[in-house]
């Protein structure tokens, strides 16, 4: 499991636009780099990220080998109701990671 950092306010007012930030520790190997012995380091990238708020997709990204290690992203969403915010990453070699946070709307 990869280390993630997710920044999401715990409580917001109804209708407020909030910034969400995420970072995931991942090497993002392109498959083009050679190691010290001249062997090609196998490709290992995250291919996609999506976020669902109250079960509805609010953002979906396709990621490519040119993205730096430990990818970071941010986006905004409109806080309508209290509920779960689900973050999901998928990558090479069957990598799947999902994190969930709760957004409280007052």
Q: How far apart are CA 26 and CA 31, in angstroms?
A: 14
The answer to whether the predicted template modeling score (pTM) of the entire model surpasses 0.85 is yes
Pairing of strands 96-105, 11-12: parallel
Q: What does the H/E/C string look like for the chain?
A: CCCEEEECCCEECCCCEEEEEEEECCCCECCCCECCCCCECCCECEEEEEEEECCEEEEEEECCCCCCCCCEEEEEEECCCCEEEEEEEEEHHHCEEEEEEEEEEC
Q: What percent of the chain has pLDDT over 70?
A: 100
**What confidence tier does 49 reach under pLDDT thresholds 50, 70, 90?**
very high
If one looks up domain 4-105 in CATH, what number appears?
Answer: 2.60.40.10
Could you report the per-residue pLDDT of 56-68, keeping only the tens digit for each? Answer: 999 999 999 989 9
């Amino acid at each position: 499991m990869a280390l993630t950092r997710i920044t999401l306010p715990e409580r917001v007012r109804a209708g407020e636009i909030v910034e969400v930030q995420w970072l995931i520790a991942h090497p993002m190997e392109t498959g083009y780099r050679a190691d010290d012995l001249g062997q090609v380091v196998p490709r290992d990238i995250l291919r996609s990220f999506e976020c669902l708020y109250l079960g509805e997709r609010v953002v979906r990204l396709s990621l490519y080998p040119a993205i730096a290690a430990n990818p970071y992203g941010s986006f905004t969403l409109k806080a309508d109701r209290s509920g779960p915010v689900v973050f999901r990453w998928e990558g090479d070699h069957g990598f799947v990671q999902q994190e969930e946070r709760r957004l409280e709307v007052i």
